[in-house]
Amino acid sequence: MQINLNRFDLITLRLYVAAVHAGSLTAGARRLDLSLAAASKRIAELESHVGTPLLERSKRGVVPTAAGEVLLPHAAEMVARLEQLVQAVGDVRAGTTGYLRLWANTSAFGGFLPRLLGEFARSHPSVVLDLEDAISIDAVRAVLRGVAELALIGENTPTEGLHTQVAHVDELALLLPTGHPLARGRRPVPFGEVLDHDLVAFARPTSLTRQLAADAEALGRPLRIRAQVRSFDGMARMVAAGLGLAILPREGALPYLKALGLVAAPLTGMRTDRHLLWAMRDPDGLTPAAQALIRMSPAAVNP
């Protein structure tokens, strides 16, 4: 069957993408300000046009069929391009020369990223920055959906076909109170000794905690996570309160050492270099603003 390209419309494609991502046709219709009846009719017409069901419906919502999975990334990219077009036109009308949507993990926001963004903003004052703090896997999904143009993620994150390149490399360190027994002598602390203590960490789905869990598993040991937090600030305060030790990028630890009476000790017995990666769909399709930000990142400036 020959498919007529002229019968595809962007509203229906936007509805389809929204429904799949929400897991509900009702929620997808609400996002586009459509009635459920109108949304159902649009999806039915789309399925009739392509000649196969695209959504599997149940009481729990909707999921894409095999054909729907094939359609989804293409539809999502078209919707993302449309949003970029609208934003670009709006930028021209507002006198802005660029717009950059970036999702980044906590290690980036708590480390090198604010400094990089400050330098970028000073050299590109007319570029609007749209930033989101998210765990690495959610940042990857944002790029895949077209919600973000760039993501900063941990290197052990599944990228689902996205292109990546190194943005920054930091060293993991052990954060602990000044008077803690492992802090005596300021010697490198074996990872195996750290595992004898309770830990303060990010939630288990985060790239950093997954890395620590893999290193612990290699030693046949579990992670004794006593408290899960969402930020380096929360991590440092829990360590200062005596709830446990923490392993985090050294740059993320530095602001809290003097203020909270903590030390950052070097580690041995595990991989301590921590790579953060840029993730993108198509390097050649990046906006000039995104390309400029990547060129300014530490790994690009000091390869």
Walk along the chain (303 residues) and give the pLDDT tens digit of each residue. Answer: 556 666 778 889 999 999 998 899 999 999 899 999 999 999 999 998 888 999 999 888 999 999 999 888 888 878 877 776 666 666 555 544 678 999 999 999 999 999 999 999 998 888 889 999 999 999 999 999 888 999 999 999 999 899 999 999 999 999 999 989 998 766 899 999 999 999 999 988 899 999 999 999 999 999 999 999 989 999 999 999 999 999 999 999 999 999 999 999 999 999 999 999 999 999 988 888 899 999 999 888 766
CB 150, CB 143: distance < 8 Å = yes
Identity at 52, one-letter amino acid code: T
CATH of domain 169-274: 3.40.190.10
The closest of 151, 77, 49 to 107, measured between CA atoms, is 151
Q: What is the pLDDT of residue 303?
A: 62
| End-to-end CA separation in angstroms for the chain | 52
Q: For the whole model, what pTM was predicted?
A: 0.69
The closest of 172, 38, 27 to 111, measured between CA atoms, is 172
Q: Residue 190: CB partners within 8 Å, gap ≥ 6?
A: 267, 268, 269
Q: Residue 279: CB partners within 8 Å, gap ≥ 6?
A: 139, 140, 143, 150, 151, 152, 153, 157, 159, 162, 163, 164
Give the residue extent of every domain in the chain.
Answer: 5-74, 80-166+275-301, 169-274
The CA-atom distances, in angstroms, between 202 and each of 206, 234, 246, 264, 290 are 7, 10, 9, 18, 28
The closest of 208, 4, 204, 6 to 107, measured between CA atoms, is 208
Q: Residue 4: CB partners within 8 Å, gap ≥ 6?
A: 49
Residue whose tokens read 């840029």: 278
CB 100, CB 289: distance < 8 Å = yes
Q: What is the pLDDT of residue 234?
A: 93
The DSSP call for residue 277 is E
Q: Residue 76: CB partners within 8 Å, gap ≥ 6?
A: 17, 144, 145, 146
User: In whole angstroms, what is the distance from residue 186 CA to residue 262 CA?
Assistant: 12
Residue whose tokens read 């509900």: 24
**Main-chain dihedrals φ then ψ at residue 4, nearest 5 degrees:** -85, 115
User: In whole angstroms, what is the distance from residue 111 CA to residue 270 CA?
Assistant: 21
For every residue of 233-270, DSSP letters joined together read: HHHHHHHHTTS-BEEEEHHHHGGGHHHHTEEEE-EESS
Fold agreement between 80-166+275-301 and 169-274: yes
Range 80-166+275-301 has CATH code 3.30.465.10:
no
CATH of domain 5-74: 1.10.10.10
Q: Give, for 212, the enclosing helix (H) or strand (E).
A: helix 207-218
Q: What is the pLDDT of residue 95?
A: 46
Q: What is the pLDDT of residue 90?
A: 64
Nearest-5° Cα angle at 290, 141 to 283: 70
